[in-house]
Structure 1
């Protein structure tokens, strides 16, 4: 979600902050700002919209010479996306940037207002800097005032604060939102993810919840658990594609091979990440995730029950936390997250650990909060995904869950060796089938112009194709802003079919190898009521208005991955025709680090 950067040193601070914020654009934002404290003067620049607006605002500003600086990209939570609500926020002589939510900000704002503090924004963040300056009036020492401020805050936060009262320091705190400190040859750096630090820092410290302190030019070596920054500067460029999302769809066949590499071979799937005996005594699995990762988990539940014969529950993380769930010691708790920083999922993971459950994370980002918190983790190896609407992350999450189902099946002896070999063959073929056929892409590009109006979409499928239908609907609504819903096709006659008419578009997933006749019957019910049908299938189907043919495959999972690509490209091309920003859709963020 929001992004944080910071710098202590003598280099041009404006360029370092802007460079770091650009690396965080993929998270989503609607405003941005920077603050530089140099020679006793605070210089603040803010802008709504793209970072180019902020660059224009501060184009004549120079900040060479020693100083401290902080920057922020904001995605509105409290208060509209305006320049006043953008970070950094200022009191009389201090500035602050903050990711997260201060749950008791209304109470604090009222208290501070009664003390004479004047608030100019609608945000929760502004209370932090005013509270700090009020505490400083009583405690005189900035660090003691900072600690006293934090004791009053309830909620999740990553905070950087600078003040004229100690112009060589940045004060920091982490609780539930990621924050990293890095050291380079020319200064100290802060960021909310690895990306802004690459090329600047050589060593980093990943802060833990409850960490707080201050940093100057000489303090870094006193931090615990310093490690090398191991990520290369191989950040994705579009490489001729129109959008990062398009590029990421096209590279799925490559990253799926990376996901399987060293894990799949012969007649077994082996995860070095899972220690021998870790899965012993497990009688049930709960998968917990949000959004696209939830859909991947739902797909995985079919495979885990079918192959490993383990009861598998799937929970939406934001609901799980407040359900007072019953958790058993024999339960494996699996969390899925692309970023590894999804706040609801992280809190559910901590809840499961407190209950004594074994925990496993499926994640794309090493060193993320979820990976560090879980007992063990499996990295999806999807590479950097800059498009906000997830594509290759979903593909690799489903692949990991498929592999996990076979790994557990071998341990539990629920599949024969020959059956596992057959599944592995399908797995390898599925990866190949995500290679985009240019003729198919052109077909979908032409088809997309027929699906720009109407009153909504149904995406329907059965069995494991139901979660794929959910994901197809989510992809479309995320980037096209058209209303779309995913349904199990058998549920149509239990209410949703009331919406059927010629202005309702139905995208039907009709695999040959799984319940074809059942779903065909469901689609015919919709066609009989004049719904416009777009069928994705290897079989001729007279009831369709549009047919997207897939090839005849040996297994339904091969069809699953092939149809996944069709849904992704269809959503992309509809969105392009509507003139939308495919990579950065409105109101969305790549990493949701608040509830």
Structure 2
């Protein structure tokens, strides 16, 4: 969601903090700002809109200053405005704070501070932190920050700059990510690792309730309660170029085209030469534990939830135990029946999704074994889960997820096959046959990407649509959910996924002349039923776009437009069938001139509830 960067060292801090901030634009934001100390006060410069809007405002400022913080805001408390943008200063202009998260008790804190004479300039929850720190300052900024944070409830990642100690940054976190980059006589700060990679690959990932002081002399860490703590540095091996567009017009198209590689990377080292799956060393869950589970609970949000939707079918087939699927934001509110015999699988690209993290904590509190399927190493879910299965998709910059989705599917297929082997619920020969076909997926997806030009030519016909429907049955329905979400996210056209058999139960009333309806026909056992559904919508005047297997001429004859995809096992078709839906959403959005990589109102990592 919001982005934090900072720098302390001997170089001109302001342009460095802004440069890092641009690496976090993918997180989504509505305003941006910077703060740095001068001889008399902390200078704060901020504006609504893109980071580029700050450039003329800061030109020539901060010369000789080696300390700065910067921030991009995604509005939660208060509308997008210059006043509500971060950083936020105290009454005297001596302290400035940037903050990611939510202060839950900010209204009562604000009322008390205003009664004591503090003057607020914004509607935000964050500004109470500036005034609390001001109130508690008695000569030690580190202690003032700790004392202020002891008064708040909620989540935070903060960085504080002040004139009282102009060569230091004080930082702290709880439930929101914050990373320190280690240089030589200089230190960097960011809410996400990609912002640091141009400067250092050695980082310290802060844990909940860590407080740190960064200065040219080094990094000093402690807990908020004053107890000592040490964090081992981590070396990041990501290629810096992985966070660049690589010549593509948008990150989204680049990431769609990276899927053959990310599928291969997610499988690498996890399948044996005889096409079995062994994740024992990676997961660390003993065989007897796998055999003890009597239920699986899949919990996620957004695209990750739709990956889980497909996996519910597969897990029940190969494991023969009940599988529940729930949106993380609803999970805690129905008093779920989970216990020590539940395998709780939480799926999250960022590993920082607030609702998913809260659900994981609840599941662990009730004795469940928590397994995180995440993309970001060292993320909160990765650290707090009992076991972690990484998807190895690499940095995903576009807000709308593509390669993370297919990597999640691959990882979850492998997880299901590993568990089935240990439980004895799926035969070795069946596993070997399926894994052999999984090995072909990178090549199959590469072939699907060859339809790029055909989809591009199709897009102008649908750019004027008010609605888009995506129909499927079985696993095709699971894929249709993700396809409709992509259309909504980046084209701003209303997209709705429907189980095709439900059309007669109400949704068919919405179909009229020219309504675009995407029909997935990749599940062999359900093909004839899907053909009936295609005829239903065609009879009401719909324009039917089909995603069908190579050679399926019967289905093609019933459709207005056809996108052919290569065949594989029915279980694996979601990873093939989703790619044309990604491309269709992309080219329709491009035709409409949308901000594809950073769609309005959305953020990459939803770190607040």
TM (norm. structure 2) is: 0.93
The residue number in structure 1 matching 2:252 is: 245
Counterparts of 2:365 and 2:602, CA distance in 1: 31
Contact 2:9/2:216, CA 8 A, preserved across alignment: yes
User: Does residue 310 of structure 2 align to residue 313 of structure 1?
Assistant: no
Which position in structure 2 is the counterpart of 1:290?
301
- For the 8 Å contact 2:465–2:516, the answer to whether it is kept is yes
- Per-residue CA deviation, residues 524-566 of structure 1 (Å, 9 max, x unaligned), is 2222222221121132334322222334x24224432221111
Q: Is the 8 A contact 1:185 1:201 kept in 2?
A: no
SS at match of 1:77: coil
Q: Does 1:274 align with 2:283?
A: yes
Aligned to 2:116: 115
C-alpha displacement of 1:182 = 3.0
Partner of 2:35: 35
Q: Which residue of 1 aligns with 2:234?
A: 228
2-structure distance, mates of 1:142, 1:243: 43
Q: Distance in 1 between matches of 2:599 and 2:177?
A: 23
Secondary structure of 1:220's aligned partner: strand
The separation in 2 between residues aligned to 1:19 and 1:421, in whole angstroms, is 49
Structure 1 Cα separation of the partners of residues 527 and 448 of structure 2: 24
Alignment-derived partner of residue 224 in structure 2: none
Alignment of 1:324-473 (within 5 A): 324-437=335-448, 440-473=451-484
Take 1:513 and 1:588, find their aligned partners in 2: how far apart are those partners? 36
Runs of 4+ in 1 over 6 A off after TM superposition: none
Q: What are the residue-to-residue correspondences of 1:70-109 with 2, within 5 Å?
A: 70-91=69-90, 92=92, 93-109=94-110
Structure 2 counterpart of 1:264: 271
Tell me whether 540-549 or 12-21 shows the greater mean CA deviation: 540-549
Q: Is the 8 A contact 1:251 1:435 kept in 2?
A: no
Spell out the pairing of 1:200-215 with structure 2 (5 A cutoff). Answer: 200-201=199-200, 203-215=202-214
Distance (whole Å) between structure 2 residues aligned to residue 384 and residue 446 of structure 1: 29
Distance 1:322 1:169 in 2: 43
Q: Secondary structure at the match of 1:508?
A: strand
Moved more, 2-11 or 467-476: 2-11
Match of 2:158 in 1: 159
SS in 1 for 2:155: strand
Q: What SS is found at the alignment partner of 1:102? A: coil
Gaps of 5+ in 2: 222-228
Matches within 5 A, 1:177-216: 177-201=176-200, 203-216=202-215
Could you tell me which residue of structure 2 aligns to residue 543 of structure 1? 558
Deviation, structure 1 residue 343: 0.9
Distance in 2 (CA, whole Å) between partners of 1:523 and 1:287 is 32
Indicate whether 1:8 and 2:34 are aligned: no
SS in 2 for 1:403: helix
Distance 1:438 1:494 in 2: 35
Who is 1:569 aligned against?
Answer: 583
1:589 matched residue in structure 2? 603
Residues in 2 aligned to 1:327 and 1:121: alpha-carbon distance in whole angstroms = 43
Q: CA deviation at 1:478?
A: 0.3
SS of aligned partner of 2:18: helix
Of stretches 233-242 and 8-17 in structure 1, the one that deviates more from structure 2 is 233-242
Secondary structure of 1:487's counterpart equals strand
Q: Distance in 2 between matches of 1:383 and 1:219?
A: 30
Q: Which deviates more from structure 2 when the two are superposed, residues 222-231 or residues 294-303?
A: 222-231
What is the distance in 1 between the residues matched to 2:413 and 2:232?
36
Q: Distance in 1 between matches of 2:134 and 2:219?
A: 26
Distance (Å, rounded) in 1 between the aligned partners of 2:219 and 2:146 = 19
Contact 1:250-1:436 within 8 A present in 2 as well: no
Q: Secondary structure of 1:263's partner?
A: coil
Q: Is the contact between residue 433 and residue 561 of structure 1 (CA under 8 Å) also seen in structure 2? A: no
Query: Are the counterparts in 2 of residues 98 and 125 from structure 1 also a CA contact under 8 Å?
Result: yes
Whole-angstrom distance in 2 between the partners of 1:554 and 1:245: 26
Q: What residue number does 2:226 align with? A: none
The CA deviation at 1:155 is 1.1
8 Å CA contact 1:433–1:558 kept in 2: the answer is no
CA distance in 2, matches of 1:563, 1:40: 61
Task: Give the alignment's TM-score, normalised by structure 1.
Answer: 0.95
* Counterpart contact for 1:460–1:488, Cα < 8 Å: yes
Matches within 5 A, 1:171-182: 171-182=170-181
Indicate the SS of the match to 1:212: strand
Distance in 2 separating the partners of 1:403 and 1:409: 10
What do the CA deviations read for 1:151-207 (whole angstroms, capped 9, x no partner)? 221111111112223333322221110112232103222211222222434543222
What secondary structure is seen at the aligned counterpart in 2 of 1:152? coil
Q: Secondary structure at the match of 2:292?
A: coil
TM superposition shift of 1:436: 4.8
